[in-house]
């Protein structure tokens, strides 16, 4: 049976309207609702379903981030993850943390924990990088299955369905492997109150990048962050004739 490692990132909640900081160095995070990255909820759900089907023996969730990352880990524990690892990174070090660092951290923990499968989300909705699964697989030299919408496990092999442009691709890979969860893989469960209570007793181990031998020095400098251009206001027209006239006037027809 497989030991599964899942990456869970704490991000600004998907429903929050993002505000850019006046000095354009980033977005406002203070006092803003944060949640588990939605694709990571899908990754956790899939791991929990594997455990329920007795395909996985143990699920370990990893979150790299400031103290509040523990809340994200607690949510994962309440969904059915067995234990958590908090790699504490905060302040300026967290501001410049990039997927390459997270990938090195996940790869090292995957080896230390003797994981057979690493599942991450296809992308974190804050930075939209879509790099962690790919680089984690590269660091481990394991096969990867990205944008996965279906997982079937046979003897030591995984039959995967990938969401690709305009269709689906079916592949087979051997474990150990790294997967990234796409939207249609499953619908994640909500943590129930009894499970939230139980999750409080589950262990969370704290580590630093240094403990794992990972250098988190920044490799990219963010020059500026800007709001998207403001859309011009539309106008309401009386009927189709007026629309056709306007389109003709504008040279669109
Ligand atoms: P990204 O490559 O940044 O778009 O992130 C892809 C996936 O990698 C996320 O959905 C998470 O599963 C994982 N990941 C990224 N950053 C972190 C983090 N700070 N802690 C834990 N997992 C992460």
What's the farthest any 2 CA atoms get from each other in the chain? 70
Claim: this prediction has a pTM higher than 0.85? yes
- For residue 1, the model assigns a pLDDT of 82
Q: What does pLDDT average to in each consecutive run of 10 residues of the chain (253 residues)?
A: 96 96 93 97 98 96 98 98 98 95 98 98 97 98 98 90 96 97 97 96 98 96 91 89 91 79
Structural domains in the chain, CATH included, are 2-226 (3.40.50.620)
Nearest to 178 by CA among 80, 245, 111: 111
For residue 253, what pLDDT is reported?
75
Cα(251) to ligand 1 centroid in Å equals 47
Q: What is the pLDDT of residue 155?
A: 78
> What DSSP assignment string belongs to 142-195?
--EEEEEEEEEEETTEEEEEEEETTEEEEEEEESSEEEEE-GGG--PPPPPHHH
Pocket test for ligand 1, best of 6, 7, 86 (most atoms within 8 A of CB): 7
Question: Which of 5, 12, 88, 120 has most ligand 1 atoms within 8 Å of CB, for mutation?
Answer: 120
Backbone φ and ψ of 45, nearest 5°: -55, -45
For ligand 1, residues with CB inside 6 Å are: 7-9, 37, 39-40, 43, 62-65, 99, 102, 120-121, 123-124, 127, 129-132
Per-residue confidence (pLDDT) for residue 106, from 0 to 100 = 98
For ligand 1, atom 17, name the residue with the nearest CA.
Answer: 9
- The per-residue pLDDT for 154 is 83
3-class DSSP state of 98: coil
The per-residue pLDDT for 232 is 85
Q: What is the pLDDT of residue 234?
A: 87
| Ligand 1 atom showing the smallest separation from residue 129 Cα | 4
Distances (CA, A) of 147 to 26, 30, 144, 150: 28, 32, 10, 9
């Amino acid at each position: 049976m497989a030991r599964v490692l899942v990456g869970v990132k704490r991000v600004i909640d998907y429903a929050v309207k993002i505000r850019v900081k006046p000095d354009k160095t980033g977005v406002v995070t203070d006092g803003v609702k944060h949640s588990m990255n939605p694709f990571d909820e899908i990754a956790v759900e899939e791991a929990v379903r594997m455990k329920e089907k007795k395909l996985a023996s143990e699920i370990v969730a990893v979150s790299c981030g400031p103290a509040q990352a523990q809340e994200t880990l607690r949510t994962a524990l309440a969904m059915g993850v067995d234990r958590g690892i908090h790699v504490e990174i905060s302040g300026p070090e967290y501001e410049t943390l990039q997927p390459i660092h997270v990938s090195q951290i996940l790869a090292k923990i995957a080896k230390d924990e003797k994981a057979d499968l690493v599942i991450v989300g296809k992308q974190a909705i804050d930075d939209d990088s879509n790099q962690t699964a790919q680089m984690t697989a590269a660091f481990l030299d394991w096969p990867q299955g990205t944008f996965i919408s279906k997982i079937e496990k046979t003897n030591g092999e995984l039959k995967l369905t990938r969401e690709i442009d305009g269709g689906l691709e079916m592949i087979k890979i051997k474990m150990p492997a790294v997967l990234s969860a796409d939207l249609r893989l499953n619908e994640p469960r909500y943590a129930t109150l009894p499970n939230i209570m139980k999750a409080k007793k589950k262990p969370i181990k704290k580590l630093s990048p240094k403990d794992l031998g990972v250098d988190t020095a920044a490799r990219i400098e963010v020059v500026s962050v800007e709001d998207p251009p403001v859309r011009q206001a539309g106008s309401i027209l009386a009927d189709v004739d007026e629309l056709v006239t306007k389109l003709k006037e504008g040279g669109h027809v």
